[in-house]
Amino acid sequence: MSQTNVARLLKQSDIAFDLLSYPVDEQDLSAQNVARKINYPLSSIFKTLVLETDQKQHVFAVISGEEELNLKAAALALSTKKVQLVPMNDLKKLTGYIRGGVAPIGAKKKFPVLLSDQVTGQPFMIISAGKRGFQIKLAPDDFLTFTNGILFTNR
């Protein structure tokens, strides 16, 4: 199976994970579609959004496929006044990843990671493996440890 940068980095750190693959539909890169294709509940699929704070700092916000990002909650968790989504055209330049394949691990630069507290109590979470058509399934605690992530309440 094709290795992704995310899989390689997790393996180097001895973090247990499963690499899942699915056929990509360029017209529908949604978490709902990914959940359907890999046959996991939407609540276990986590999407990665890239935010910019009012101080021009970049941050990964990782939220459940069932959630919409609450920008005020993200700003509060980051102790900043305001955050906004990074324009889609800037994703590759900032992270090295394209839409539908953005991962909070292995990006060009290390950004702080916020993880929705919706993950609490879940035995695993599934995130992009950094390439369309690939997802990584791992324990939330391992994800938080690896990324130095911060749990936040996305409400």
Confidence of residue 1 (pLDDT cuts 50, 70, 90): very low
**pTM of the full structure:** 0.95
pLDDT of residue 6: 96
Confidence of residue 2 (pLDDT cuts 50, 70, 90): low
Distance between CA atoms of residues 37 and 27, nearest Å: 14
* Mean pLDDT value across residues 40-58: 96
Each residue's pLDDT tens digit, 99-109: 999 999 999 99
On average, the pLDDT of the chain sits at 95
Distance between CA atoms of residues 3 and 154, nearest Å: 32
Beta bridge partners of 13: none
* Residue whose structure tokens are 């959940």: 35
* Mean pLDDT value across residues 46-56: 96
Q: What is the CA radius of gyration of the chain?
A: 14
Each residue's pLDDT tens digit, 115-132: 999 999 999 999 999 999
Domains and their CATH numbers in the chain = 5-152 (3.90.960.10)
Asked if 63 and 69 touch (Cβ cutoff 8 Å), the reply is yes
Confidence of residue 30 (pLDDT cuts 50, 70, 90): very high
